[in-house]
Chains A and B, each alone.
Chain A
C-alpha cells in the first residue's frame, strides 16, 4: 500500500474513527487504510442503528459511513447522529455515487462523500479536508526521518 504522512489531531493524538459498513470485508479494508494514515479505529458497526449507539459510546473524531445497509441506511443514521451531535464529522463511503444520494447525504449533515472502490489517496485527502484545522500532518522525528 502507498505510504502517507501520518495525520494526527491537533493535540498530537491519533484521529479516532468509527467505521460503518454492512460488509466486514469493506470495514477491514477502510480500517487498514486509516490505520496506515496513523488513525485509530475506536468502533465498527454493520448497520445504521448500531452506528448511532457506537457513536454515543465512542464519540469518534470521524465516521466513515456506508449508505446501503440493512435495517437503517447510512443517510438516516448520519441525520440522527448530526441531530444529537451537530459537530459530528461524517464522511459517506458508498458504491452508489449518484447526485441525489450525495446531495441527500450532505443535506442531512454529512461532510463529504467518497465513492467505492475507495482509493487511499482520495480518502486521505478527504479526511485531511474534513478535519481541517483540527488535524495536522505529524512532523517526523529526527530518528524517523
Chain B
C-alpha cells in the first residue's frame, strides 16, 4: 500500500486523538496483516468507494474503550455499555473523516459510508489486490488499532 494513502490516516489519528483525548498519541507497531483480521475489542468499520476503495477498521480493546468513553462523557461507562460502542464509532468517524478530507484534497474522489460496528471475530483476509495494514496508537488511556485495507480503483484511475 502506498505511503500517500497511509500518511493521512496517521496524521488524522494523531490530531484527532490528541484533540479529543487531550493527550499525545504515540504511534507504535505497524504491521502487514496477511491473515484474516482478528478483532481486539470494540471495532467500528468505515467503507469508502470511489477512486480509492476499501475499508478501515478502528478497533479498541474493551477496557480501553470504556476508559475513553468515561473520559469523554465525564462519567463512568461500563465495558458492556452502548456508550462505549458509540464512542468507538464516533472516534472512527472523526479520524477516518479527517483522513478522507486530506486524501480528497490530494485529488482523490470518493464516498464515505457511516461507521458500522464490526461484530465478527474475524475479518476478511487481505489479498494481493488489497493489502491490509495494522497501525497501533499508544494513548494515555490504552492502545487503539487501525486496520486499513484499500486499493486504487483501477477502472476509475484509467478512465481519468
Main secondary structure of the interface of A (DSSP, over half): loop
User: CB distance A96 to B86 under 8 Å?
Assistant: no
Minimal beta-carbon separation of A134 from chain B (angstroms)? 30
- Say yes or no: B87 contacts A97, CB within 8 Å: no
Pair B97/A97 contact, Cβ less than 8 Å: yes
Residues on A facing B (Cβ under 8 Å): 22-26, 28-29, 68-70, 94-100, 115-117, 119
> Which residues in B have some Cβ–Cβ distance to A below 8 Å?
16, 19-20, 69, 72-73, 82-83, 86-87, 89-90, 93-98, 100-101, 104-105, 109, 112-114
Q: B89 touching A23 by the CB < 8 A rule?
A: yes
Q: Are B87 and A25 in contact (CB under 8 A)?
A: yes
For A95, give the chain B residue with the smallest CB separation. B97
Chain A residues positioned under 8 Å from B20 (CB to CB): 117
Q: A68-B113, A68-B114, A117-B20 are in contact. Are A23 and B100 (CB under 8 A)?
A: no
Complex Cα spacing A22 to B100, Å: 19
Taking a contact as CB atoms under 8 Å apart, the answer to whether A23 and B73 are in contact is: no
- Could you tell me the distance between the alpha carbons of A70 and B94 in the complex, rounded to whole angstroms? 16
Instruction: Show 15 A/B contacts (Cβ-Cβ < 8 Å), sorted by A.
Output: A22-B114, A23-B93, A25-B86, A29-B90, A68-B112, A70-B114, A95-B95, A95-B97, A95-B98, A96-B97, A96-B112, A99-B105, A100-B104, A116-B97, A119-B19
